[in-house]
Amino acid sequence: MEREKKQVAVIIVLFEPNKAEIAKASRLACRYHGVIVDNSLSPAFISLPSHLMHYIAFQRNMGIAEAQNVAMRYIIENTTATHIVFLDQDSDIDENYPDAISEAFDHVNMEVPQLAFLGPRIENKVSGREYKSVIHRQQQVTHNFILRRDITSSGGCTTTAIIREVGINDSQLFIDYVDFEWGWRAQSKGFVCGITPDITIQHMIGRQTFYFLGYTVIISAPQRYFYQYRNFLWLLPRCYVPLRWKVNTLIKFLARLVYFPLLVKSGRLCWRYMISGIAAGLKPSNQGQQKNIQ
State pLDDT tens for residues 27-45.
Answer: 999 999 999 999 999 999 9
Query: Are 121 and 196 found together in one domain?
Result: yes
Query: Are 81 and 185 found together in one domain?
Result: yes
In the predicted model, is pLDDT for residue 97 greater than 60? yes
136 is in which domain, residue-wise? Answer: 7-203
β-pair partners for 210? 217
In the predicted model, is pLDDT for residue 265 greater than 70? yes
In the predicted model, is pLDDT for residue 2 greater than 50? no
Total domain count, the chain? 2
pLDDT score of 160: 97
Query: Are 66 and 130 found together in one domain?
Result: yes
Domain assignment present for 12: yes
Query: Are 128 and 273 found together in one domain?
Result: no
Query: Are 111 and 227 found together in one domain?
Result: no
pLDDT score of 136: 63
Residue 193 banded pLDDT, cuts 50, 70, 90? very high
Query: Are 196 and 114 found together in one domain?
Result: yes
Query: Are 272 and 241 found together in one domain?
Result: yes
Query: Are 85 and 20 found together in one domain?
Result: yes
For residue 195, give the CATH number of its domain.
3.90.550.60
Average pLDDT score over residue span 64-88: 97
Q: What is the pLDDT of residues 120-176, one digit of tens each?
A: 998 876 666 676 665 666 788 888 999 999 999 999 999 999 999 999 999 999 999
Domain termination residue (choose one: 173, 203, 233): 203
Domain assignment present for 286: no
Query: Are 181 and 260 found together in one domain?
Result: no
The least confident of 100-109, 153-162, 209-218 is 209-218
Query: Are 108 and 227 found together in one domain?
Result: no
In the predicted model, is pLDDT for residue 251 greater than 60? yes
In the predicted model, is pLDDT for residue 289 greater than 60? no
Domain assignment present for 102: yes
Domain assignment present for 126: yes
Domain assignment present for 289: no
Domain termination residue (choose one: 165, 187, 203): 203
pTM of the model: 0.92
In the predicted model, is pLDDT for residue 196 greater than 80? yes
Average pLDDT score over residue span 236-242: 97
In the predicted model, is pLDDT for residue 54 greater than 50? yes
Average pLDDT score over residue span 257-279: 94
pLDDT score of 284: 79
In the predicted model, is pLDDT for residue 290 greater than 70? no
pLDDT score of 235: 97
Q: What mean pLDDT is reported for the chain?
A: 90
Domain termination residue (choose one: 203, 220, 253): 203
Domain assignment present for 290: no
